[in-house]
Structure 1
């Protein structure tokens, strides 16, 4: 089990690192151009593998903490402390991985369903945002009980993303460019989740001994990504008065 988890994590790190770099190619390339489309496909592939491998790795630790990370037990004062930390870290990574997976999946789905949202109204597609809502609710409860600041920030974000997708899929009317706003916000959200996961798990070793910088590094992706998403949505969808379209 430990070997399987190690292989999954290594693949997760490789594609996750690639995702951090590939994220910026579609952002700065000409929208609709060949580089934008090609870079978007590369980012989608890397981000999807990263997110799904993160989900699997998290579930392995949650299900088999001793079989996967038993070699770390001696670092903790008690088995109870070990289980609590493993559960907390894995739940947070699971939530971020589901958030990344949902966002990159939703970003591509809305591109394919510009004219009608009907193909999105099925359990197969909606299972991921619903799983995200469950993970967000559990993550928020855990964050409140453990006074985990990062969880208090990202659990509501996960809940918002899940419910917002359900609202987009089932509402009666959308603006003509609602799909574009969904695409931009979902791509940005996946990038924010990827960078946050990097700083929260991988990058923290680079900032060991500097807790203030660690906290700042966790928040910076959202501080940059959210305004960037709002700006892009305004630039590409709000300059002209949107027309309502019936997307049943």
Structure 2
């Protein structure tokens, strides 16, 4: 029964993750601010919220029974490795995905109403991802998996920078848009990393810990974030020039 439940969660996780991975590119590549951008942006956001939630549930089952939930990996990896990578690290990644999707959604929903972003849920997610990051790093240290520590740095940085922005007393007109871009592209990085890294364990287990499987989505995602943030700054300068 436990394995059936776990496999059901995996199937649902793949479906929502695939939906998000496809929807991601419409607002990234298409015209910004229009109806199509908003519609596909909502599809992506809620797909990521579902994907992250399913990842959390899968991680909790793995923590309870690592070998029972991953019988196909028995003999390749021990229980400590599975509990670390598919338990603690997936728990952290799931919370990170939820955090980024919800934070980015609120930034675009509230726009200039900065104080409206400081909800209990949004603030709580920042502390949750930092707590999950610290546990992930500690568990990575215990089992000798530096990759877990590296991923934890991302979660810790996310929580700290988000809190810095949330408690910022005054924001510029374009600041909320920059945060929206950072968060939702970050959620996209998360889902593509999961597909390439966690998914590779099932198909090519020997590639699961290869740095390229983890770094490629990050490099592409960071390039997208930088490109769009520079675009926001160019638009802001044009507005200032037009007023002057």
The interval holding the TM-score normalised by the smaller chain is 0.7 to 0.9
Equivalent residue number for residue 18 of structure 2: 17
* SS state at 2:171 partner: strand
Unaligned regions of 5+ residues in structure 1, if any?
244-248
TM-score computed with the length of structure 2 as normaliser: 0.87
Indicate the larger mover: 215-224 or 202-211. Answer: 202-211
TM-score by length of 1: 0.86
> Does structure 2 retain, via aligned residues, the 8 Å contact 1:200–1:218?
yes
Rounded Cα–Cα distance in structure 2 between residues aligned with 1:106 and 1:57: 23
Paired residue for 2:69?
69
Q: How does 1:25-174 map to 2 (within 5 A)?
A: 25-62=26-63, 64-65=64-65, 68-69=68-69, 71=71, 75=75, 81-174=78-171
| Higher RCO structure (Cα 8 Å, ≥6 apart) | 1
Work out whether residues 24 and 44 of structure 2, in 8 Å CA contact, stay in contact via their aligned partners in 1: yes
Query: Which of 225, 233, 236 is the aligned partner of 2:232?
Result: 236
Change (3 A) 1:50 1:70: closer
d(CA) in 1 for partners of 2:138 and 2:76?
A: 24
Number of the residue aligned with 2:212 = 216
The size of the alignment, in residue pairs, is 238
* Structure 2 CA distance for aligned equivalents of residues 71 and 217 of structure 1: 23
CA contact (8 A) 1:73 1:82 kept: no
Q: Cα RMSD between the aligned structures?
A: 2.5
Q: Which runs of 5+ in 2 are unaligned?
A: 240-244
On the 8 A contact 1:99/1:132 being kept in 2, the answer is: yes
Contact 1:176-1:242 at 8 Å conserved across structures: no
- Report if the CA contact (8 A) 2:198-2:208 is conserved: no
